[in-house]
Every structure is written in structure tokens, then in C-alpha cells.
Amino acid sequence: MDIILLENVINLGNIGDKVTVKNGYGRNFLLKFGKAIRFNKENEQLVIKKKAELNKKNTEIKNQFIKTAKLIENVEIVFNKECKENGELYGSIKPREITNLIKQKVNADISPSQIVLKVDLNKIGSYKAIVNLHSEVQTTFIIKIDKIKSK
């Protein structure tokens, strides 16, 4: 399926690029969420006319995410959890819990889908997490998991 991107998409392309994607990815994600439109000559002319406007909008969004990245960068969030004797947690820490704690700590509004974890957070220790705020804006922060003292 040939499409024209209406916003920058990580690992795919930038605004106004004509790209070929699999039908399911195009229909179920890119078209559905307004990230792209189907490629045809009419739409291509429309995007050429709107490209400056789209780039301006993208720059504003990017600048907003840069400010958010500066708030989050190098922040350490701490979870106090019960665990087994070997340091394994009962369950694991999910991105939704992380975003809730970030909102409380630095008042930054991010979604769980923007958090990238290299490993499962199911043991006591410190972990580095990545936040993909925008296709061009990424930042890291530290997640520390401590043991709750037993009664």
C-alpha cells in the first residue's frame, strides 16, 4: 500500500514522504490514527500545498516535547515493592505505573506506549528506561526498585 505521511513516523519517514507499507499497518494504524493518507495524485498535490503548514505544526509539537524531555531527563523514580527472598517482585512494574509516578513527580504528561523498557522490571535494582516523546525527541530516566521492609 502506498501512502503519504502526514507526520514523522519513527523508522518509516518524515512529513510528506511517499512510502510503501503492508496493508494491515497502513489501514489499521497509519490511516486510522491520521498519521498518513492514501497515495494518489490528488492527495500528493494536497500534501505539497500543506507541507509548510504540517512542518510548522510538527516543529511546535517537537518544541513542546523537548521541554517535556528536559523535565524527565535523568529523573530517578523509586518504587517500593514487596518481593521474595531472592529479590524477585510479586508481579512486575508496568509502563502505566511508571507514567503515573512521572506525572506525580515532574508533572509531565506521557503515555505508557512512549516508554521503552529493555528488560522486564521484576527484580530489585536500578534500570534505565527510554521515553520516545517524538520521532526526533528521546530521553532517558532511572527507575529504582526498592524492597519494602517486612512486618
Q: Under CATH, which number does the domain 2-67 receive? A: 3.40.5.10
Rounded to 5°, angle at Cα 30 from 25 and 34: 160
The domain ranges of the chain are 2-67, 73-147
List the beta bridge partners of residue 88.
123
In percent, the amount of the chain with pLDDT more than 70 equals: 98
The model carries a pTM of 0.71
C-alpha cell at 14: 518524515
CA atoms within 13 A on the CB side of 150: 3
* 55-94 pLDDT per residue, tens: 888 889 889 999 999 989 888 999 999 888 898 998 889 9
CATH, range 73-147: 3.10.430.100
